[in-house]
Each structure stands twice: as structure tokens, then as C-alpha cells.
């Protein structure tokens, strides 16, 4: 084997090995950063949760809660429905606290308890679910915690991004039934977003005529509709677009 070929092979190995190490580090980093666990809270039952003894941890609730603890070893900060908690370091040795500590979470009429167990692990995100909290309850809380118009705007945004609001059920209809009231236009419902007092609907409109057609938002109001957004207003022959509708539940014409 020539010296030039040996040099090229050596350079190739020297390039591949660091790349493999880098990819492994990325995988380990991502798996650590996004460590997440879910717990179901019940009144009178204490949940035990392992969290990081050196990094900031987060506990996420579906509703607003008040937090209490008798411990002097915890640092806490409440932001919206998230409780950020970390263990203090021993002032003399600098070592992490090793004893479990208890937190109490209060809602309007119930008290829940969690014992935090410090471990030498990366930051944890703990999603807490409450026993009596249904999807409809979560949706109702989400709708009530913001002004009426803001809620409607956020439902519309959620449909465009396909990221449903808290508690909303997404129903992928993908139907084939044409429910259009206009000749030459095909209207098929694709998805529904079902909340507590609002519902979002996504329709696909196709122009099957030989002429251009222009869709207007005001043509869709009625039957409890409170907001309409059209992706593309002007449809040439055989063109298609999506129409997004927000409706108050109880209105008619919901397919």
C-alpha cells in the first residue's frame, strides 16, 4: 500500500471517530434535556418523584395551584401553571441535598402531595394530572383564562398549526361527503377541534368549474360561526384551498 493511500485512510479514520463521538454526545444531550414523566395526583395519596438534585426541574399542572412546603432545602418559583423547583446546595460542603422533601399543591377545594427525591440525574419535567380533571375541564379552563376574542384567535392559530389548545379533542374526519351549498364547489370537512364552548372546523374547498371563483368570509357566517379564515380566496379551475371556521358549540350546521 502506498504511503499516500495510508495517509488518506488515517485522515479518514481521524475524521470519522470524532464525528461518531459528537453524534453520541448529541443523542445523550437531547435525551437528557427532554427527560419527562407524568404522574396522576389523587387527594390523600402521596406521589414520589425523582428529580435532579443539581438542576432546575419543572412541575406542570393543568390548572392554577398554590404551593406550600415546610422545607428550607428547596427553591421554588411559580410561573403560570408551572412550578420550577431545585434543591439548594449545602453551604459548608457545597454538596447537593440528599434528603427527600415534600410539596403540597392546593386547588380550590383539594390538596395534593408530592415527595421529591433528589437524584444525580439531569433536569426533569413532571406533568401532573389531577384525578377529576377531564379534557372538557381543561378546555374550559383554557377558554376562560383569556378574553373572548383572544380565545377565538388562538383557536384559529391552533388549527393553522395543527397544535390543539389544552383539553381540545382533535377528530380527523377526512370525509368524502360533499356538503357544499354552492354549485361547482366541493366542500369536504377534514378535521374538527372540539373544546368546551367552542369548536374549530377545517374544510377543503375545490373549484370544479371552468371559471375562477372567489371565496368570501361573510358567506360562511351563520349557525353559531364566530370566525372564518380562508387560506386562498381566489380559486382557479381545479384549485383547492382550506377554510377554517370557529363555531360556538350548540350552533347548527356542524357536520
Quick: pLDDT tens for 163-177.
888 888 888 886 678
Q: How confident is the model at residue 23 (pLDDT cuts 50, 70, 90)?
A: very low
Is the pLDDT at 153 greater than 50? The verdict is yes
pLDDT number for residue 175: 65
Is the pLDDT at 7 greater than 70? The verdict is no
Quick: pLDDT tens for 28-47.
333 444 457 888 888 888 99
Is the pLDDT at 121 greater than 60? The verdict is yes
pLDDT number for residue 102: 94
Contact 154, 146 (CB under 8 A): yes
pLDDT number for residue 211: 94
Is the pLDDT at 92 greater than 80? The verdict is no
Q: How confident is the model at residue 181 (pLDDT cuts 50, 70, 90)?
A: confident
Q: How confident is the model at residue 24 (pLDDT cuts 50, 70, 90)?
A: very low
Enumerate domains of the chain plus CATH numbers.
36-132 (2.60.40), 136-248 (2.60.40)
d(CA 51, CA 56): 9
Average pLDDT rounded to a whole number, residues 41-65: 89
Contact 157, 129 (CB under 8 A): no
Q: What is the pTM (predicted TM-score) of this model?
A: 0.51
Which residues, at least 6 apart from 94, have a Cβ–Cβ distance to it below 8 Å? none
Amino acid at each position: 500500500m502506498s504511503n499516500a493511500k495510508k495517509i488518506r485512510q488515517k485522515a479518514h479514520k481521524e475524521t470519522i471517530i470524532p464525528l461518531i463521538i459528537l453524534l453520541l454526545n448529541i443523542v445523550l444531550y437531547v435525551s437528557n434535556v427532554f427527560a419527562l414523566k407524568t404522574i396522576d395526583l389523587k387527594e390523600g395519596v402521596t406521589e414520589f418523584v425523582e428529580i435532579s438534585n443539581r438542576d432546575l426541574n419543572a412541575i406542570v399542572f393543568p390548572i392554577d395551584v398554590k404551593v406550600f412546603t415546610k422545607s428550607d432545602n428547596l427553591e421554588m418559583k411559580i410561573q403560570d401553571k408551572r412550578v420550577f423547583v431545585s434543591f439548594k446546595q449545602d453551604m459548608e460542603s457545597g454538596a447537593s441535598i440528599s434528603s427527600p422533601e415534600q410539596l403540597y399543591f392546593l386547588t380550590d377545594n383539594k390538596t395534593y402531595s408530592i415527595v421529591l427525591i433528589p437524584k444525580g440525574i439531569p433536569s426533569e419535567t413532571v406533568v401532573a394530572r389531577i384525578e377529576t380533571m377531564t379534557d372538557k375541564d381543561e378546555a374550559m379552563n383554557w377558554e376562560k383564562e383569556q378574553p373572548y376574542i383572544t380565545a377565538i384567535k388562538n383557536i384559529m392559530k391552533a388549527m393553522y398549526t395543527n397544535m390543539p389548545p389544552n383539553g381540545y379533542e382533535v377528530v380527523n374526519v377526512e370525509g368524502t361527503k360533499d356538503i357544499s351549498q354552492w354549485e361547482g364547489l366541493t366542500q369536504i370537512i377534514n378535521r374538527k377541534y372540539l373544546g368546551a364552548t367552542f369548536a374549530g372546523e377545517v374544510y377543503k374547498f375545490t373549484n370544479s368549474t371552468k371559471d375562477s371563483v372567489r371565496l368570501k368570509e361573510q358567506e360562511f357566517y351563520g349557525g353559531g360561526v364566530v370566525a372564518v379564515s380562508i387560506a386562498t380566496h381566489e380559486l382557479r379551475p381545479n384549485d383547492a384551498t382550506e377554510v377554517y371556521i370557529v363555531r360556538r358549540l350548540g350552533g347548527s350546521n356542524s357536520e
